[in-house]
Structure formats: structure tokens, C-alpha cells
Homo-oligomer: A and B are copies of this chain.
Amino acid sequence: MQFLLTISYDGTDYAGWQRQDNAVAVQEKVEDALGSIIGRPVSLRAASRTDAGVHALGQRASFFAPDLRVPTDKLPQVLNGLLPVDISVVAAAEVPPNFNPRFDAKQKTYIYNVQNSPHANPLLSRYAAHVPQELDFSAMQNAVKHFVGAHDFAAFCATGSNAKTTVREIFACEVIGGDASDAWASSPSFGGRPSLFAPILGAGSSSRNFGIRVVGSGFLYNMVRIIAGTVLYVGMGKISAEDIAGIIASKDRARAGKTMPPQGLVLVEVVY
């Protein structure tokens, strides 16, 4: 029998999802907890290999266990009793034997969080990139629209990636929050509230915190972090919203914005 877990984690103290030799990864922690329940080593296959420092609200990972004696609905609670506080299993379900958590994913949602204020708020430093300069929100709102659709995103892929094709479909791309109406806090998705933080103070009323929410069929390596960097270039006036189509068409990584740091990125949801 195969089981699918939905997992939240604070990526701050981990070397990413994927198990590795010389650093502690989220996968290792969850596999160890599963192994101590099942009594033998367990391997997890995840929907997404999040990088070091990247967070997840709805990562998915599956494992095979013919001999699982814990009822599926009790599995989250039992695993959470063995896991550190920065990793939590929020759901468990049985899935067919031929289910593949990575290749069967129909849609993934990421949010890239930015705190835009003269001084960084330390309570957001693990969960958002800090951008001190003033940003043109209306230009960024225009910029994000250009990413929607099926495009060759070669310009938005870290070099060295060995993806078979660099074509991906983006279903939605939007700037959420950043204004007085507090859309970041109230925007509905994944259980009603996808946002990590309401805009908070830090340096008084000039503080604007927002997210860049991207929903797509799948993503190339660093794609969301490069999209975020490119949208921020528009906000800073380094490029214009109308340049985005040309950057995509160029397939030239050098023309897109910089890769934003990992701590702003959250894997929000995977849909099958």
C-alpha cells in the first residue's frame, strides 16, 4: 500500500528537502520518524525538492508500507510526536500503488514573500526577502500578467538544469498584499489563508509586505525565485513590465532578474 503525506516545514535549519550526506534535510527527519513507526527504513518520494532555507505549507511525499499498523488518520499525530517542532505532517491518505507524487502533480502553488520597508523587520527575516527601496506596485501588477500562459521559460531557469523541456504553463501570477486592504492576509486558497504574514510594522507606516503568488503546471529549477527577482526589477524601475515578453522570448537567463534568496519562498500547495 502507498501513503501520501502532506507536510509543512520551516526550512530555516535544513539543507532543503532532499536527504544528503553531510547536512540534515527534511526528508531524513520524516523518514526517520516513519522508520521508527514501521520498524524498518522507509524511503519518501516528494512532489518537489525544495532548496535549503525554502519553506513548505503543503509539500507532499509518499511511501510504501504493506505493514503499517497505525490507522491512516492517526498517522499525522503519531509522526508529529516524533518530529521536531519545525516539521509537521498535516494530513495522510492512502493512494494507488501507481501514484507518483512528483509526476502526477497537476498544479503547484508557490508564494515568494517580500518585506518592503527601510529597515528589515527581524521577525520576518527567516520568511521574506528584504527590499529597502520604494517599489512601483502598479508596474509590478502589470508585470506579473505577462508570465501567465504556456511559455518556454529557459530565461527563468538556473543554468546547469537538465530538464527535458523548458516549456511550462503558468495558470496564475499575482502580487498579493502590499496595500491597506491587506489582501495578503485574506486571500483565499489552501484552507482559506495562504499568506504567511499579515503586513506588520517594522519601520512605521512605510512598511509594505507582499507576496508574489505563482500557480503553474510545474516549475524549472529556481524559476519562482527568478520570476520574483524579475518582478522586483520592474518594481525598482530597472526594466518595464512591457519588457517581460521579450525576456521570455529571448530564452536568455542573463536578461531576467536576479535569483531571489531562498527564505522568501514557500511551497504552498500541490494539486493532483
Alpha-carbon distance A39/B198, docked complex (angstroms):
40
Assess the A196–B197 pair: CB atoms within 8 A.
Answer: yes
Q: Report copies per complex.
A: 2
Q: A197-B197, A203-B90 are in contact. Are A127 and B123 (CB under 8 A)?
A: yes
Contacts of A87 in B (CB 8 A): 122
Q: Is A204 an interface residue (CB 8 A)?
A: yes
Considering only residues 205-234 of chain A, those with a C-beta below 8 Å from chain B are 205, 207
Contacts of A200 in B (CB 8 A): 57, 193-196
Assess the A119–B76 pair: CB atoms within 8 A.
Answer: yes
Alpha-carbon distance A202/B194, docked complex (angstroms):
10
Binds B, one of A16-24, A142-150, A184-192: A184-192
Alpha-carbon distance A196/B207, docked complex (angstroms):
14
Cβ 8 A contact of A201, one of B184, B193, B197, B203: B193
Contacts of A86 in B (CB 8 A): 122, 125-126
Q: Is A85 an interface residue (CB 8 A)?
A: yes
Q: A58's closest neighbor in chain B, by CB? A: B201
